Amino acid sequence: MLRRSFFTLAAIPFATPALAMPRIRAVNNAAGIALRGFDTVVWFTEGAPRRGSAAFAADHAGATWHFASAAHRAMFEANPTAFAPAFGGFCAFGVARGYKVDIDPEAWHIEAGTLYLNYDRGVQRQWRRDIPGHIARATANWPRLAEA
């Protein structure tokens, strides 16, 4: 019994680095998948959210992004800054208020060619009351929040 416990404890240091891999904080990702697997190009091309597929994946900014088609992946890879959402895909209103929170893919808005995502539609209504002001505050807060 003592021998089995010793070997179990001896294996822990080797398993810990894999478990402790840091999550990229500047991109809204869970388990390394950006935006819960939603295709960021679709908001621009179809005007609605749609999940992408691991079959059409690309790595960018330390996360894996999924796309609905090879064409969308190619568009993103050619110009990721044109399609990646502002503030790493975190709720833009939250960033404007000084914190990072997840998003509802249905609560989105494109302003001057940039995709902004929000926590939910209620928050999105607040966001729309002063989009320029919220963008200015979020832009000022983002450098501090990006790696927090």
Q: How do residues 9-56 score in pLDDT, each as one tens digit? A: 344 343 333 333 344 589 999 889 999 999 999 999 999 999 999 999
Q: What is the 3-state secondary structure (H, E, C) of the chain?
A: CHHHHHHHHHHHHHHHHHHCCCCCCCCCEECCEEHHHECHHHHHHCCCCCECEEEEEEEECCEEEEECCHHHHHHHHHCHHHHCCHHHHCEHHHHHHCCCCCCCCCCEEEECCEEEECCCHHHHHHHHCCHHHHHHHHHHHHHHHCCC
pTM metric for this prediction = 0.83
> How high is the pLDDT of residue 24?
57
